[in-house]
Every structure is written in C-alpha cells, then in structure tokens.
Amino acid sequence: MGGLPIESTSMAISVSQHPKDEKSAPSTVPADSKPKKKICCACPETKKLRDECIVEHGQSACEKWIEAHRKCLRAEGFNV
C-alpha cells in the first residue's frame, strides 16, 4: 500500500506542472506566480549595464545601476 500514495503524489506533481494550473495559480497566489520570466532573463538591458559597471569600476561605484536593475526586476514582479 505504500506505493499507492507515492504514485498518486507523483501524478499530482505532473498535473500541477501543466500550464493550465500555472494560469490558475495567479488568482490564488499572485505574488509567487507574477513573474513570467526567470530572474536571470528579466531586464537584460539594466543587467548588462550593471554588470559592465561592476566589472570596470567595482560594486560601490555602481549603486545607481544596481538600483535601476532592482527597480526593473520589481516591475517584472520579482521580490528583490
């Protein structure tokens, strides 16, 4: 009998990964499901400027670019 719940659980996991469930998730938990991209792919323009500045001048000299990137990520729905 121990195998039955595991099979049901894995079946439930695969079902929850379908796009239909992802579309319904924002109505239940909007904060967790709001970002439509991975954080690494969001805001490529500000990310590039931030990274180039840090490489050339160091983190302390690039606070405006770091904050601009954070602002962009927040606009995309990330909690940073």
On whether 41 is known to bind a ligand per the annotation, the reply is: yes
CB 7 within 8 A of CB 15: no
35: left (phi over 0), alpha (psi -120 to 50) or beta: beta
Q: Which helix (H) or strand (E) holds 8?
A: helix 3-16
On whether 72 is known to bind a ligand per the annotation, the reply is: no
Q: Mark the binding-site residues, compressed into ranges.
A: 40-41
Q: Mark the binding-site residues for Cu cation, compressed into ranges.
A: 40-41
